[in-house]
Amino acid sequence: MKYIIFCFSVLMVYLSPVIAAEKMDVYYGGVSFIGNFADNKRLYEHSFALSEEKNAEGLPILEQALLARVKKINRDDINFVIGGLGNLDTGSAITLAFGVDWENISVENIAGLYKIVVDLHAQILIFDYNSQKIIGSYPVALQVRDVSETEPSPELIRSIIRSLYLNDEYGMNIFETFAERLKEVPIQASFGQYLRVNNVILEEKSLPFIPTGNQGAFKTLVAQSFGKYLSTNQNVSLLPYTKGEAIGSKMALRFSNGDIFNLITPSSDYGIDLIIRGFKKVKAGENHAKVSWVYGSYVRIKVEQPDTNKLYMDIPFVNAAVKEVPISQSSVDDWSAYQESLFSFFDQFSREISKPSKKWLGKVTKVKNASKQLKAFNNILNKSR
């Protein structure tokens, strides 16, 4: 008898580590659009039109393309439930959505050629179906650049955006980017603290560099690009930048099947202000084949607690990016180079927060206690995970 009990005990010791933790159910909601329904067709002209297209079986093409990718995701901690948004009967209410929050097309005639820039941004949006409250979000974004000898038609623009959703003609796909991030981002019933880009401020010295009429779009691009790099490189949830899209503490969300939600957006515990101070171009060198230009971008980043106005970080930065131009090229797209300088800095900054190197800090700022301030920001990020 003692022998049998011993064997059973040994068996339990060896079996217990293999017992898997119960997976959390997360309900898949599908494709949605952030903002009031009346504005969806205007804000997301091409994406919204594609969401209404159906395949031969009468199923929405965008929904089918996204669903196919989500079904392939296998996580140890999450069970994605397909069909239905949340479950009020069982109390399992955590719901996942792909939320489109920015579609922007820019066309510029440079030396007889039309430069096309298409930006497509979305959120991995996690919300509580019962309380209708946003739990967290992780931004995903793509930008594609193309050139046309003739002025691009609406059909050409639509085809570019279609490819960003449905194939990888341009070497990128927004649904694939969404699925790759979804494999690893933390999904839980609540997060400790909430973080958000609250403001993007364009100082007077920056205004002459920004194309006429593009200030609003540029502010959105700055906020969402910063959020993308910070969220991706630090694996942290960031509340959506909703300037002009949210009314009070509510954020409208419409799914492609017609379901509409007015989600409660939590107040941010910590807010980030991005102040664009200006840009500068300096010739660095020239030879018989090319000219080297240095494009400088100047930005100040502030982090504070809105309720108490306590300031955790306030650092002015500068980033220099070199662009080599063939000597035969008659014109240069300076605006794109300035943006590349700024956004490459956002990437660097978000990677350096956790353990900034003295060499990097010496290049980008003259603030003596910058390392200490970044440490304070890193502590905030730890609270927000």
Count CB neighbours of 52 within 10 A: 11
Quick one: pLDDT at residue 383? 87
Cα 4 from Cα 88, distance rounded (Å): 47
All CATH 3.40.50 domain ranges of the chain, comma separated, are 21-190+240-266
Q: How confident is the model at residue 331 (pLDDT cuts 50, 70, 90)?
A: confident
116-133 pLDDT per residue, tens: 999 999 999 999 988 888
- CA-CA-CA-CA torsion for 224, 230, 236, 238, nearest 10 degrees? -30
pLDDT tens for 258-303 read 778 888 888 889 999 999 999 999 999 989 889 999 999 999 999 9
Mean pLDDT of the chain: 87
How confident is residue 230, by pLDDT bands cut at 50, 70 and 90?
very high
Share of the chain above pLDDT 70, in %: 90
Look at residue 90 and tell me whether its pLDDT is greater than 60: no
CA–CA dist 342, 222 (Å, integer): 9
For residues 264 and 250, the answer to whether their CB atoms sit within 8 Å is yes
Going by pLDDT thresholds of 50, 70 and 90, the confidence category of residue 37 is: confident
* 62: region left, alpha or beta (phi > 0 left; psi from -120 to 50 alpha): alpha
Q: How far, in Å, are 3, 16, 18 from residue 8 at the CA level?
A: 9, 12, 16
The predicted pLDDT at position 1 comes to 43
Residue bearing the bigger pLDDT, 330 or 197 = 197
- Quickly state the pLDDT bin for 89 (edges 50, 70, 90): low
CATH number of 21-190+240-266: 3.40.50
What is the pLDDT at residue 3? 41
Q: CA-to-CA distance for 142 and 152, rounded, in angstroms? A: 20
Task: Please name the residue ranges forming H helices in the chain.
Answer: 2-15, 37-43, 45-51, 61-70, 154-166, 174-182, 215-234, 334-352, 358-364, 370-384
**In angstroms, rounded to a whole number, what is the distance separating the alpha carbons of residues 152 and 144?**
14
Q: Cα(99)–Cα(125) distance, rounded to whole angstroms?
A: 6
**Using an 8 Å Cβ cutoff, are 345 and 297 in contact?**
yes
Helix axes 154-166, 174-182, angle to 10 degrees: 30
Which residues in the chain are classed under CATH 3.30.160? 195-236+269-385
Q: What is the pLDDT of residue 88?
A: 52
**Lowest model confidence (mean pLDDT) among 3-12, 72-81, 136-145, 201-210:** 3-12
Direct distance between the N- and C-terminal alpha carbons of the chain, in angstroms, rounded to an integer: 51
Give me the residues paired with residue 119 across strands: 104, 143
Multiple choice CATH, 195-236+269-385, 3.40.50, 3.30.160, 3.30.2320, 3.30.70:
3.30.160
Instruction: Give the pLDDT confidence score for residue 41 in this predicted structure.
Output: 85
Has residue 153 got a pLDDT over 90?
yes
> What is the mean predicted confidence (pLDDT) over 371-380?
96
Asked if residue 10 has pLDDT above 70, the reply is no
Look at residue 162 in the predicted model and tell me its pLDDT.
Answer: 96
Most distant CA atoms of the chain, gap in Å = 93
Greater confidence, 242 or 288? 288
